[in-house]
Amino acid sequence: MKRIDFTNTQVASSQTARDINRGVVLNLIRRRQPISRADLARVSGLQRSTVSLITEQLIRERWVVHGPIGRLPRGRRPRFLRLNDRKAILVADLRPDQTRLGVADVNGNFLSQEMMPTTSDPRATAKGLAKRMLHLMNVHSDLVFEGVGISLPGRVSEKTQHVIFAPNLRWPDFDLKSAIRKDIGLRVELENAANACALAEVWFGHTERIRDFVVVTVSEGLGTGVFVNGQLARGRDGMAGEFGHVPLDPNGPACSCGGRGCWEVYGSNRAALRYYHELSATKDELSFQDLLALAESEDGLALKALERMFEAIGKGMRMIVTGLAPHEIVVVGEVTGSGDGLSRGEAASRPTSRRGHGAPARDCGARASKTFRAFRGCTRGRRRTFLAR
């Protein structure tokens, strides 16, 4: 039974109901486009008149346009509706060394992408990003830009909207949102990269019917986006999901968060590079892509370094499987391009307890294998914010 505290609640206004119905209709159009009004009413269970009111409003606001005219054996030919792909969003995926930015339409198609360096000076990075975004708006002057979505390896305070915890960016408390909004003049949404990936999975992936899953983003650090009971777990001050900073060994190597022996110190791209340097005693500067290329060419030490990393990822996944019992864990990052390695690491994540969550753990492995695509389209998640408003 669900325990609900009625002492401090507000009744739903008719506006709330309208907003929910609008979200339902917009989502149905996105998923089933082109679709007729009659089918929208049939699938949603809403009255035809309600569907008409909502679609007229969406058409007025140019979120939705008329598509092709349908063919039926008899009766009036319906006018199909589809999303207006002239509506676009500026997106950016901020990582410690590089930022990928681009333009995406409402259907989640990237119309252009480019890279720029990320620096440890948040002001300079924000300026550079805004400048390039303004340029992209000029290049795509035929599009109507609705807003800016930025995913980043850190946490954003729900109260102040400042970036408050971004150990891998090495940024102090910073108001990135205002800095970008001031230069671009559009609404700006910030989201933690792992959370954005979780939203992207719901929006564009295959997890539509799954209400409990976890996204693990493996990059310079290790992040998780936790989706519980059909909702993103936010926690106090948006800090939920920091499994990457759970200390597995208090005497382990120092972590960027100030702690020691965190999961990410063992399972991140940086960890794999550290293993390789320890094993080979080389002083050469190496990127994670270089390491993957070495492993691809059967370099024994590179393979060993990656294996250690996979095992560490698996151990942390076991912690998640045991603690949250998700239906799926989706792994995101360059590491997913490295063949069956992750499945080997996944074996380490299978719990051995008799109560056993073996089945979901195996599913996680299968899912990880299927997700072997360097899908860091975290910024895609942002579109959910704009569509669902």
Q: Give the binding site for Zn ion (CB under 5 A).
A: 245, 255, 257, 259, 262
Measured from the CB atom, is 259 or 339 closer to Zn ion?
259
CB of 263 to Zn ion, least distance (A): 8
Name 254's Cβ contacts closer than 8 Å, sequence gap at least 6: 260, 265
In degrees and rounded to multiples of 5, residue 164 shows phi and psi of -110, -20
The closest of 5, 72, 79 to 36, measured between CA atoms, is 79
CB of 322 to Zn ion, least distance (A): 20
Name 313's Cβ contacts closer than 8 Å, sequence gap at least 6: 216, 218, 222, 267, 331, 335, 342, 345, 349
Distance CA 128, CA 119 (A): 10
In degrees and rounded to multiples of 5, residue 383 shows phi and psi of -60, -25
Measured from the CB atom, is 255 or 335 closer to Zn ion?
255
Q: Which residues pair with 149 in a beta bridge?
A: 91, 189
With 0-12 / 13-18 / 19 or more C-beta atoms within 10 angstroms meaning exposed / middle / buried, residue 10 is: exposed
SS3 287: coil
CB of 29 to Zn ion, least distance (A): 43
CB of 246 to Zn ion, least distance (A): 8
Q: Token digits for 18?
A: 């309208």
CB of 259 to Zn ion, least distance (A): 4
CB of 167 to Zn ion, least distance (A): 7
Measured from the CB atom, is 80 or 165 closer to Zn ion?
165
Measured from the CB atom, is 267 or 360 closer to Zn ion?
267
Buried b (16+ CB within 10 A) or exposed e, 300-327: ebbbebbbbbbbbbbbbbbebbeebebb
Measured from the CB atom, is 55 or 219 closer to Zn ion?
219
Q: Token digits for 335?
A: 């590491």
Name 261's Cβ contacts closer than 8 Å, sequence gap at least 6: 247, 248, 249, 250, 251, 252, 253, 255
Measured from the CB atom, is 128 or 259 closer to Zn ion?
259
CB of 257 to Zn ion, least distance (A): 3
CB of 131 to Zn ion, least distance (A): 33
In the 8-state DSSP scheme, what is residue 133? H
Q: Which residue has the tokens 């294996």?
A: 307
C-alpha angle with apex 339: 336 to 345, nearest 5 degrees? 75
Measured from the CB atom, is 115 or 257 closer to Zn ion?
257
For residue 329, give Cα distances in angstroms to 128, 229, 259, 380, 385: 35, 15, 26, 18, 23
Measured from the CB atom, is 201 or 264 closer to Zn ion?
264
CB of 99 to Zn ion, least distance (A): 22
- DSSP result, 148-186: EEEEESSEE-TTT--EEE-TTTT--SB-HHHHHHHHH-S
CB of 255 to Zn ion, least distance (A): 3
Measured from the CB atom, is 270 or 357 closer to Zn ion?
270
Measured from the CB atom, is 34 or 244 closer to Zn ion?
244
